[in-house]
Amino acid sequence: MPESLYFEYPHYAARRAPELDGHASATSVVVVGAGPVGMALALGLAQRDVPVVVIEPLTTVGYGSRAGSVSRHSIEFLRRLGIADELLDIGLTYSEGWTYFRADEVFHLEIPGDSYDRLPPMLKVQQCYIEAALAAALDKHPLVDLRWGTTLTSLAQIDDTIVIDLSSEDGDYQLSADYVVACDGARSTVRSVLGLELEGVTYPSAFIIADIQFVKESPAGRRVWFDPPWNPGGSVIMHRQPRDIWRFDYQLPRGCSLAEENDRAVITTRIKDHLQWIGFDGDWKLDWTSVYYAHGRRLSNFRHDRLLFAGDAAHLVPIFGVRGLNGGLADVANLAWKLARVVQGRSSDELLDSYATEAQGMADYNIAQADRSTRFMCPRSDGARTLRDAALRLALSNEFVRPLLNPRQSSAVPQYDSPLNATPQAIGCLGAGDVIPDLPLGPPDATPQFVHDYLGDGFTLLHFDDGSADAEVANAEIGSEQVRVARLPVLPTTPAYDRLKPLSGRHFLVRPDTYIVAAWDYPPINDLPEAIRHATATPNHSHD
Ligand SMILES: Cc1cc2nc3c(=O)[nH]c(=O)nc-3n(C[C@H](O)[C@H](O)[C@H](O)COP(=O)(O)OP(=O)(O)OC[C@H]3O[C@@H](n4cnc5c(N)ncnc54)[C@H](O)[C@@H]3O)c2cc1C
């Protein structure tokens, strides 16, 4: 097991596969890889009554803090999966950041949020805790068969079945599945077997990533320094994490020897220099270290018939702006309800094309946003560095330059071009393609009731009504679809009144992943059946 100063790596027993004893089995869905993305997908499928087999070579969770910043949109998804509370208990919340040019602050990041929000804009919690929470939830679920210590070595689609070759300590065997989702990370075996490559850019600068244990009371948040004296021309990011862990990401000078720099003694010296320079005194210990190159790459198509890709297997996004894990979780929040419907025969498999279209769009958006931050963090040429430093210098005394330094932290990517939307994008107000915000409905002194409390497992029609005092909920059968219908009050006493008032009188059809697919200013009695058929790609419905 990996060793850590703050996290006890669990050991998950690898069980002998029944197929090795002649019990041939076929399953609906195999998820390849029990990283956070694969496990979140498996839980999302199991919660929708889909049996799922998960394949994972390790017998513990992935090593190191890795993705440590979870966006509100991701926490909402983890909440629906039932594991947000324990992560909120462990994690540190933050909504701020500080950017320095040498010793001077040049930008103060404030991540939008309101005091009445149920969830923080960002939660700092090491990836190993997220994975451990997901693994514990999967372990309890009777529909999940998580095969630790098992590696996918090959796969092939034969007619409507995917046959998978697996290797385990007890021997090699095959499994067949109706659908396979590759969540096997940046070095995806599934991708290699299919001869697929991620397309895009790899940035030239290397970063050392290191966690130290250091007891230091200081607000959580993102701290960035450009051109610190101990790392001329370079940058360093520092984040406080739970359990007295501080995460460092510092840029290595171009042309330096990676072998020399990636040495614990050298890393210790660099961190010591930085802490001394910023006046952080005290004893600390080095924990996990790693080397990191930023990539902005994705597969050209996330769907290959019955094989789908999600998370790092599908796209790699630079870490600046925290879109790696958040982007992967957004993929599977999108995929879980769609794949469940297709497997259960409630939707045609055309719905999976919408997964590919939407997830590819999210990856493009995330890569483009992260690219701007990455080019700022590590300019590709001396000329670009001169320009960057000029902007930093200007920002010292000019307010208007400061937005250039905004790292654009991850948040929900709108789906305005989704093929599932039944009404056009609403300009200037909430509409199809937006996420329905989780606003509080009641007065501050009452037990808080939030919009998301009224969403069902399937589609929900929300009607915001300033004439009603209390929420009312009913279930309706629209065609073959069970739809939850909720009338929600818009009360002047709620702290979110400014944001709720413009919704008054509007009706929103909301998908299981909280995206709005249709919005109307009138009761959509006649429009609703077609909107639902369209959004669910129910059999015998064809998009025109
Ligand atoms: C050093 C480092 C630092 C990072 N820092 C950040 C950060 O600060 N912020 C951020 O947002 N992101 C960060 N990331 C990225 C983030 O960790 C990933 O985006 C996230 O882990 C993606 O999750 P995933 O489940 O798609 O892939 P992974 O977490 O890579 O999981 C893939 C799983 O597939 C398994 N697997 C591999 N091959 C096979 C096979 N043949 N058969 C079956 N299973 C297989 C692996 O064992 C693994 O468990 C960092 C990554 C690294 C490496």
Domain of 182, CATH number, reads 3.50.50.60
Does the residue 410 lie in any domain?
no
Residue positions counted in the chain: 544
pLDDT, averaged across the chain: 93
Does the residue 317 lie in any domain?
yes
| Torsional class of 505: left (φ above 0), alpha (ψ -120 to 50), beta (otherwise) | left
Do 34 and 151 sit in the same domain of this protein? yes
**Which one of 327, 351, 370 terminates a domain?**
370
**Surface-to-core class of residue 121, CB atoms within 10 Å of its CB (0-12 exposed, 13-18 middle, 19+ buried):** buried
Do 471 and 521 sit in the same domain of this protein? yes
149 close to ligand 1 (CB < 6 Angstrom): no
Count of H-run helices and E-run strands, the chain: 12, 24
Do 39 and 165 sit in the same domain of this protein? yes
Do 165 and 272 sit in the same domain of this protein? no
Question: Which pLDDT does position 530 carry in this prediction?
Answer: 95
Ligand 1 centre distance from Cα of residue 312 (Å): 6
Ligand 1 atom closest to the Cα of residue 37 is 25
CA distance 304 to 291: 32
Do 214 and 354 sit in the same domain of this protein? no
**Which one of 319, 335, 370 terminates a domain?**
370
CA distance 401 to 383: 19
Do 318 and 177 sit in the same domain of this protein? yes
CA distance 439 to 299: 36
Question: Which residues of the chain register pLDDT less than 70?
Answer: 407-410, 539-544
Instruction: Report the CATH number that the domain containing residue 285 is assigned in CATH.
Output: 3.30.70
Whether 211 and 205 have beta carbons less than 8 Å apart is answered as: no
Do 130 and 33 sit in the same domain of this protein? yes
Do 289 and 301 sit in the same domain of this protein? no
Do 27 and 80 sit in the same domain of this protein? yes
Question: Which pLDDT does position 543 carry in this prediction?
Answer: 42
Q: What is the pTM of this model?
A: 0.96
Question: Which pLDDT does position 9 carry in this prediction?
Answer: 97
Question: Which pLDDT does position 409 carry in this prediction?
Answer: 65
Percent helix, strand, coil in the chain, to 5, is 30, 30, 40
Domain that holds residue 275: 201-294
Do 455 and 519 sit in the same domain of this protein? yes
Does the residue 116 lie in any domain?
no
Does the residue 313 lie in any domain?
yes
Does the residue 440 lie in any domain?
yes
Question: Which pLDDT does position 540 carry in this prediction?
Answer: 56
180 close to ligand 1 (CB < 6 Angstrom): no
Does the residue 413 lie in any domain?
no
What is the C-alpha radius of gyration for the chain, rounded to an integer number of angstroms? 24
Instruction: Report the CATH number that the domain containing residue 507 is assigned in CATH.
Output: 3.40.30.120
Probe residue for ligand 1, chosen from 53, 238, 323, 325 as the CB with the greatest number of ligand atoms within 8 Å: 325
**Which one of 334, 350, 370 terminates a domain?**
370
What's the domain count of the chain?
A: 3
Do 179 and 232 sit in the same domain of this protein? no
3-state secondary structure of 256: coil
Does the residue 400 lie in any domain?
no
Count of beta carbons in the 10 Å neighbourhood of residue 264:
10
- C-alpha separations of 96 from 225, 226, 392, 470 in Å: 15, 18, 19, 36
